[in-house]
Every structure is written in C-alpha cells, then in structure tokens.
Structure 1
Amino acid sequence: MNIQNFTYKGIPVSYSDDGAGEVILLLHGFLESKLIWQPFIKELARKNRVITMDLLGHGQTGCLGYIHSMELMAEPIIELLENLKVKDCIVLGHSMGGYVALAFAENRPDLVKKIGLINSTSREDSKERKRNRDRAVKAVKENPKRFIRMGIPNLFCEENRTVFTEAIKKVTEAALKTPTQGIIAALEGMKIRPERTHFLSGLNVPKLMIASKKDPVLDFKALKKEAEEACMTLVVFPDGHMSFIENKDEFSKQIMYFIE
C-alpha cells in the first residue's frame, strides 16, 4: 500500500493510493482502518486505481471533536478526491464505512459511479440501537480496552470465533490503537445518522449489497428487503459481520465482479 498523508482542518488524514485506471474507493468500518483492505489491494490495483482512507478518529487520522457525524467523516474524502483530481469512483464501505459512503454519495452524487454496502445499511438506528450506542459510550469511558476486547469477537458469527482466533487477535490489536475520543465520536455519529433508504432507492447507479445470514449486528431479513426495495444486487454470505475475513475468497470474487 502506497500510504500518504494530507492535512484537513488541522489534523492529519492518512490514505493509500495504488494502481491506475478506474478509481475504487474503499471505506473501513468502526474500530477498523484502511489496513483491512490490504489483502485485496494487489488484485484490485492490477487494472484499477485503489484509494483507501483512515476515517476520522481511526487509524492514523486525527479527531475533529466529540461527534464524528457520517457527513463530517465524508468531508475529507471529498477533499482528497478533489486534490487527486478524481472525476468519479466506485465506492465500497464496510459497516460504518457504508454509512459514510452514503453520506458521501448524497453530498457529491456526481463523484459516485457505483456504490456497495458491505454488512451495512441505509436505515437509521432503531430506538433500541440508539440506547445500545449510549451504553457503548458509557462502557468506552469506563474501560475502552475491555470494550474493544469484548466487542471484536462478537462481530463474527458464533462458530467462527474459534475458527478465526488469529484473525480476531489481529483485528483486536489494531482496534486497541483507536483513540478513546475516536471511538466515542464514531458511536455518537452513527447514533444520529439519518435514514437514507429513500436516497439509496433513488440513486441511479449500480448498487451492491453484501449481507450475511448470521450477522450479529444487522438483521439479514431486513437487509434482504432493503436490497430489494433499492434495486440492489444482493450477495449473500453464510457467516457474520466480518465478511471480508469470514468469507475472504468469495468476497474478493464478488467485489471484482461488481467492479468489472
């Protein structure tokens, strides 16, 4: 990965830029970083230009206050693409990255050629989900490391928590580097994100939904219905929320198929 930095509103923003051709923008999820895409960069960059970014408060990118709304997270992405003179791109986002992808697309639809939601949704948080976000913020304030160590394994379907022990350890170690402010700001931002189902349905570009039957975070039946209503191509995996790890090979094939 060709990792670089630029400054946005006084904070460092870390991104990678590899290959040449059609631009693929990859956005990571909560407690992740651009490094989750590293296993896929080589293949994708053979015929494309692949750009990844550490979202606000994650990886090597700084924080911009107590709340990182999805709209705020999208702002440095737009600035980066303008700086790199990118005219349009295929944007794919995992989990929180999907929320940011939708905020980005709503702000600058002219930059979006295709969009893919990976274990993500255009729906806003339910009341219960918002209460869970508040509980999570409290838990992070009390003990951020415990929150991360308990939370990461629960993103995998139950049987995979023993199958992917090493992967879970690696993801957890990376997540532990996320600053407490970044964790809380993201939780607060996800909690207040607006409903974007109507926007997604009206977005006239090819759309992909990757959903997992045993996703412990998102309801599979609801995602399936959402994909149908928004006229999205639906790809179904059998496992959990971390499909890029739990179903790595098939995930790679489906992403390549969508891009091409």
Structure 2
Amino acid sequence: MPFIKYNEKNIYYEVHGEGEVIVILNGIMMSHMSWKAFIPELSRNNKVVLLDFLDQGKSDKMDSLYKQDLQVEVVKAVIDKLELNKINLFGISYGGEVALQFALKYKNLLNKLILFNTTSNTNSWLQDIGRGWINAAETKDAETFYNVTIPIIYSPSFYNKNIDWMNKRRKILYKVFKEDFLISMIRLIKSAEGYDVKEKLNKIDISTLIVSSEYDFITPVAEQEDIYKGIPNSQYILIRECGHASMYEKPNEFINILKGYLFVEKEIKIV
C-alpha cells in the first residue's frame, strides 16, 4: 500500500492517471474513498493525487492535539515524495483551509488553487458549531453524531428529495462512526480552532477559483466572498440550490467547474 513517513506517522496516498497534476484535499469527515466516483473522469487525461490527512482514512491516528499547519506539512511531504512541481491544489472545507495555508507557505509549488466551501478563519459561530460536533462525538454514539452533523451538511431540498439515499448513507455511516473515528474527529475539529488567514489572503498571487453553495450552512456564502475579495487574482462561482456537500448534491456542476478551470483555457460554464 502507498504510504510515506512523516514524523514517524504513516500517510496514505494514491495516484491515478497521467498528465497535469491535481492534488485533492479532503473535507473533515472525508477520506480518499470519498472521491471514488469522480476518479474515472478526473483522471482521464490528468494525474490525480489523493491523500488522507493525519487522523483520516488509512493514515495514522495522532496521540495528542495539534494544529492545521501539521496537515500542511503532510501535504508537502506527499508532494516531495512524488517529486511534483507546479501542481493544481484543490481543497474543500477543512481541506480548503489547509490549501490556503499551503498556498501562503509554498506558493512556488502551485499552478492554480481551487477552494470549494471554504472559510478564511474559524470565527466564533463556526467554532461553536465545531464544539457541538465535539459534544456529539464524545457520546461515542453513531446515531447522535449523525443527527448532529450530517443533515446540516446538505441543503433541505436535497435531503428531503433524496431521503432514501440519505437513509442508505445513514446505515453506511453508522458503521464508520466508531469510537476511534469519533476520537479522531475531535482532534481534527480542534485542530481548526484558532485558524485565521483572513488578513494574509492578499499575499496569494496565484490563479485562484473560489466556489460557494447557495445553501451552505457550515461555511456560508459570505465566507467565500471574503476570500474572493481578499485574493487579487481570483474568480468566483456560486452553485445555486446546493448545500455544503456540493460534490454530492451537484456532481455534474462539480466536475464541470473543476475540469473547466483546471484543464480548459476558456470561460467556465456550468451545465
């Protein structure tokens, strides 16, 4: 299995396809497996690099608390291992936060930056949502954690219209939300406390795409608008009638936006 060592911890990664490189950074509850359905299309003519952060997926668990800048170095370690340069870096939510910090520290390695459903700081409102998730995780009960975290990730219309799919997903996630996963989630959530790059955004001078979802209740539209205003060389797209989990609610729009921005030198169009 493809692992690298960073600070004596195993970091899991995968490489799919050949061509221009895109490195994908997961949201907080995700892993490399979350992108399985998108890999055939994204890797058709491009090299796609997936990785699990520490405390995610197949990567090692941590023994104590840490900050997100540790995950920045995890990404750097994978890039160094694969000898990559001028990559396209994509992050969603937690992964977008890590991507922003990576861009500030290692922008010389980047070609383009893509941020979906991302915030530039953990404000008081978001921190208290995180603490609610921590409280739910501390119960070590899968149903409690699901009910507190999952419904708000989706837009109400999608959730209600796709309740059969959601109920199937509930059964799958109950098996995922075991004690070790929930303990890892607590560390991941706490790692984002104190995160704030809002006043540094103007230092990011690479081509950047920021994408919002109209009904994102975790990282609302105003958060991405702030990033768009802060990064000089940036573009902005709003996905209508969509919640925080944009790639699941609007998979066609997700793929078209991502490939259009990265690999096609023309105006991005949503179909």
TM-score (structure 1 length as normaliser): 0.90
Pick closer, same or farther for the CA change 1:81–1:249 going to 2, 3 Å.
same
On the 8 A contact 1:156/1:215 being kept in 2, the answer is yes
1:72 correspondence with 2:70: yes
1:29-74 CA-partner distances (Å, limit 9, x unpaired): 0111112222221222122111010111111111223324211112
Alignment gaps of 5+ in structure 2: 264-271
Match in the other structure for 1:25: 23
On the 8 A contact 1:66/1:184 being kept in 2, the answer is no
Instruction: In structure 2, give the amino acid aligned to 1:5.
Output: F
The Cα of 1:175 is off from its aligned counterpart by 4.7
RMSD: 2.1
The Cα of 1:21 is off from its aligned counterpart by 1.7
Pick closer, same or farther for the CA change 1:49–1:235 going to 2, 3 Å.
same
On the 8 A contact 2:140/2:182 being kept in 1, the answer is no
Question: Which moved further from structure 2: 30-39 or 65-74?
Answer: 65-74
1:181-201 CA-partner distances (Å, limit 9, x unpaired): 3101111011121x2133332
Instruction: In structure 2, give the amino acid aligned to 1:87.
Output: N
Match in the other structure for 1:117: 115
Question: Which moved further from structure 2: 26-35 or 58-67?
Answer: 58-67
1:138 correspondence with 2:135: yes
Match in the other structure for 1:127: 124
On the 8 A contact 1:213/1:237 being kept in 2, the answer is yes
State which of 239, 252, 255 in structure 2 corresponds to 1:252.
255
Give aligned pairs, total: 256
Alignment gaps of 5+ in structure 1: none
In 1: Cα distance, 2:130 partner to 2:183 partner: 15
In 2: Cα distance, 1:220 partner to 1:16 partner: 32
On the 8 A contact 2:93/2:118 being kept in 1, the answer is yes
Match in the other structure for 1:100: 98
Match in the other structure for 1:154: 152
The Cα of 1:134 is off from its aligned counterpart by 2.8
In 1: Cα distance, 2:185 partner to 2:137 partner: 8
TM-score (structure 2 length as normaliser): 0.86
The Cα of 1:109 is off from its aligned counterpart by 1.5
Percentage identity across aligned positions? Answer: 21
1:152-177 CA-partner distances (Å, limit 9, x unpaired): 12200111113334257437357525
State the secondary structure of the residue aligned to 1:258.
helix
The Cα of 1:119 is off from its aligned counterpart by 0.6
State the secondary structure of the residue aligned to 2:156.
coil
Match in the other structure for 1:14: 12
State the secondary structure of the residue aligned to 1:102.
helix
Pick closer, same or farther for the CA change 1:191–1:87 going to 2, 3 Å.
same
